[in-house]
Amino acid sequence: MARVLHIEDDPHSRRLVAKILRAAGHEVVETDNGLEGIRLAAEVEPDLILVDINVPDLDGYEVTLRLRSISSLAGVPIVAITAEGDRATSLAVGADGFIGKPIQARKFAATIEKFLGGHRESGSEERAGARELALRDRSQRIVERLEGRVRDLQEANARLEEMARLRREFLQNVSHELATPMTPVVGYLRLLLGEELGELTPLQRKCIQSIQRSTTRLRNVVETLLDVSALEAGRMHYYNRQYDLADVVRQAVERLQHEGDTSRVQLVVDPALPSAPATGDPDKIQRAVVHVLDNAVKFTPRGGRVAVGLAVGEDAVEVQVLDEGPGVAATDLDRIMEPFVQVDGSATRAHGGVGLGLAFARRVAEAMGGGISVEAAPGTPVAGLTLKGTLVRLRVARHAPAKLTEG
């Protein structure tokens, strides 16, 4: 029994060959494209390889050339199969034989046995010249194709760069267009609520307070857009001040309780938050912590708990936020740090957001000489609680890198 690798894009031919070979007691591994064929050849250690000349991506000649450069396949017969391919070229690129299509079952089986038994077709000496010509012709065509591919890639790359630029500009324009009209809205709301424009009836006050809450939400989204747009354009400006991360955490929690909907869950802040003095930009860090807290609260089901703690190290301090949400799959842990990536990005998803929170938090943490990490179901207690959800650690250096602006 032998193991035969068959590289062929036409399913009918694949089925026919598999049937014949299996009837003869052989094992068949098959694929419909050249690149996968090359990978499989190195992996499955075949006793014989059948290559269709007419396959997409790399053609059969190119596949054969490549297979011949894999040392573990030395001595493994490669047989080209084709309707219109050419024998001289097939042998020139390293095939040991050539079978024409259409395949005739009886003859095919016998030919395969011959190759498995050690038979090799070799062109006679007088054909050597023809072979050299075929090989050169083949190489020229490969280079031509390569040239075309490289050109395609360059074009695709230029298009991607253009799209990235447009995306940056769009983000910048949208955030500014949204931010500008917010200013009078916020200002007049403050005047109204301060009763500087006249006394309010209790009902009017309730309405305006409701408008203010919605406006605050809107402002937070716009603020995040502005932040990320500034980050992408490399225009983010950081201050360098002394602060205590414990205060920053408490303020972030307060801000979230004030502006967000935290009543659904129980927010447990470690009552013994250690003092964590550091230097850096406390306002940006606070916003980053709010984003992390917002996620924990958002993804934790009603009645669940979110634990908030602080770890103080020699060179770094770390905020820990542990929740009782669904956790994050291992394959998503890196992705979700990228701007706009949400595990569920569909319009029908259960949770709001634009996918910029973690991207912002990561950039801020990194600018402060730290970083952010997400772990699923970690088993580490935070504020005395061991919860089965996601643990996000936001770490900053005690002394932010010197390049920050003094302020």
Q: Could you give the CA distance from residue 122 to residue 87 in angstroms, rounded to a whole number? A: 11
Compute CA 116 distance to the chain's CA centroid, rounded to the nearest angstrom.
45
> How many CB atoms within 10 Å of residue 222?
19
Residues 322-361 that bind Mg ion (CB under 5 A): 353, 357
Interface with ligand ADP, residue 328, by CB under 6 A: yes
Q: Which of 6, 26, 138, 291 binds ligand ADP (CB under 6 A)?
A: 291
What SS3 class is residue 396? strand
- Closest to ligand ADP by CB, 136 vs 335, is 335
Which of Mg ion, ligand ADP, none lies near 390, with the C-beta cut-off 5 to 8 A by kind? Answer: ligand ADP
What SS3 class is residue 374? strand
Residues 267-306 that bind Mg ion (CB under 5 A): 295
Q: Could you give the CA distance from residue 205 to residue 194 in angstroms, rounded to a whole number? A: 10
- Closest to Mg ion by CB, 90 vs 295, is 295
Interface with ligand ADP, residue 357, by CB under 6 A: yes
Rounded to 5 degrees, φ, ψ at 242 are -85, 140
Q: Which of 90, 175, 286, 390 binds ligand ADP (CB under 6 A)?
A: 390
Q: Which residue is nearest to ligand ADP (CB)?
A: 353
Spatial contact of 305 and 264, defined as CB atoms under 8 Å apart: no
Interface with ligand ADP, residue 343, by CB under 6 A: yes
Lookup: tokens for 35: 């690149």
Spatial contact of 219 and 182, defined as CB atoms under 8 Å apart: yes
Residue type, 196: E
- Closest to ligand ADP by CB, 125 vs 344, is 344
Which of ligand ADP, Mg ion, none lies near 336, with the C-beta cut-off 5 to 8 A by kind? Answer: ligand ADP
Interface with ligand ADP, residue 253, by CB under 6 A: no
Interface with Mg ion, residue 224, by CB under 5 A: no
Q: How far is the CB of 300 from ligand ADP (least distance, A)?
A: 8
- Closest to ligand ADP by CB, 1 vs 350, is 350
Burial class (CB in 10 A: 0-12, 13-18, 19+), 201: exposed
> How many CB atoms within 10 Å of residue 190?
11
Reported as type and span, the H/E element at residue 28 is strand 27-31
Interface with ligand ADP, residue 353, by CB under 6 A: yes
The b/e string for 228-251 (b: 16+ C-beta within 10 A; e otherwise) is: bbbbbeeebebbbbebbbbebbbe
Interface with ligand ADP, residue 295, by CB under 6 A: yes
Interface with ligand ADP, residue 262, by CB under 6 A: no
Q: Which of 33, 209, 215, 342 binds ligand ADP (CB under 6 A)?
A: 342
- Closest to ligand ADP by CB, 85 vs 339, is 339
Strand partners, 395: 318, 371
Interface with ligand ADP, residue 88, by CB under 6 A: no
The footprint of Mg ion (CB under 5 A) covers: 295, 353, 357
The footprint of ligand ADP (CB under 6 A) covers: 291, 295-296, 299, 323, 325-326, 328, 336, 342-343, 353-359, 390
